[in-house]
Structure 1
């Protein structure tokens, strides 16, 4: 009986601590974050067009494409595919992505496609691509939008984020911000 009451007491204390106090504490801390913890949004003319830190699907030829998502860009089900590199289903998915990329970028050779453009990330929500992945799409976008490749390359350069202290990480570009900048090009 003594053990049972101890277990019940521990359960009640844990419930109050982890179901009430901890969520209130985290909610309070989130109020100090940008946008009160609701995420960093990008707005155009007062309308939210997306979240800065969550990847989105772009499939129109006039936009830069994001990295594929195994979660369908759904933040509620963030996940990778969990399929190994030799899994036949995974290989078929990657091949389908390669084929789609080549159809929309006919001047690109298969060996030039960066792997990040045909493989999903661990979270499935990466908002960034590398400058290499952006540059390989320039010809398609320039042809579709009827603007010079030089303007698009300059836009890529202006949106490239350098590694932390020049040492940690790789150069990245936020795809949503890049596409917003693309829409603003004249």
Structure 2
């Protein structure tokens, strides 16, 4: 009985270093494959097939300067430009999210009232009853770069008066910038505010 126990102990002692070596070797292989080779291959493939998206879908102006990403909204304070949605985080990508306020929350109600008052001040020719709700509400992420076509068109009288560009031409600009539903089925028609303002800037230069 003692001989059998001694033999089993020697077998265990011999197998332990071997098992550790196998684990270390497997770990090293997986680190190289999953931690180095796979990310490099994915990055290289993305740069070849989708270079714009892989680099952040950046947009440039006519001078070749990067002015932002088409995926993240911006705050436009110039009244001669189209304005986007309200952002409680000022479009800071590192702080994605918004306050989960209920419809009766006093802070949200006050912010909404302030947004409406600012709208009336900037757009005296357009009644509040025609104000699209997306211009005074925050998106879930606070980073939404889009507004509805109606939210873009309702700003045309203000921009036309400030730039001298006809309302008809600005309407064409909005139509050209309107993106359809994904695959023709999902989501709603939308307008990327940064792209629209880049096109507007080109018009004002002429």
With the shorter chain as reference, the TM-score category is 0.7 to 0.9
CA RMSD of aligned residues (A): 2.8
Q: Mark the CA change 1:88 to 1:24 in structure 2 (over 3 Å): closer, same or farther.
A: farther
Q: Mark the CA change 1:23 to 1:80 in structure 2 (over 3 Å): closer, same or farther.
A: farther
Q: Say how many residue pairs are matched.
A: 178
Q: With the length of structure 1 as denominator, give the TM-score of the two structures.
A: 0.83
Bigger Cα Rg: 2
Which residues of structure 2 form unaligned runs of 5+?
Answer: 1-22
Q: With the length of structure 2 as denominator, give the TM-score of the two structures.
A: 0.76
- Report what 1:100 is aligned to: 118
Q: Give the deviation of 1:136 after TM superposition.
A: 0.4
Q: Is the 8 A contact 1:70 1:121 kept in 2?
A: no
Once the two structures are overlaid, the 10-residue window that deviates more, 136-145 or 89-98, is 89-98
Write the deviation string for residues 119-177 of structure 1: whole angstroms up to 9, x where unpaired: 11001011111110001000000000011100100100111111124322111011001
- Report what 1:38 is aligned to: 55
Write the deviation string for residues 65-100 of structure 1: whole angstroms up to 9, x where unpaired: 011112211001011221111100111011111111
Query: Distance between the aligned counterparts of 2:106 and 2:148, measured in 1?
Result: 27
- Report what 1:3 is aligned to: none
Query: Distance between the aligned counterparts of 2:194 and 2:147, measured in 1?
Result: 10
Which one has a larger percent helix, Structure 1 or Structure 2?
A: 2
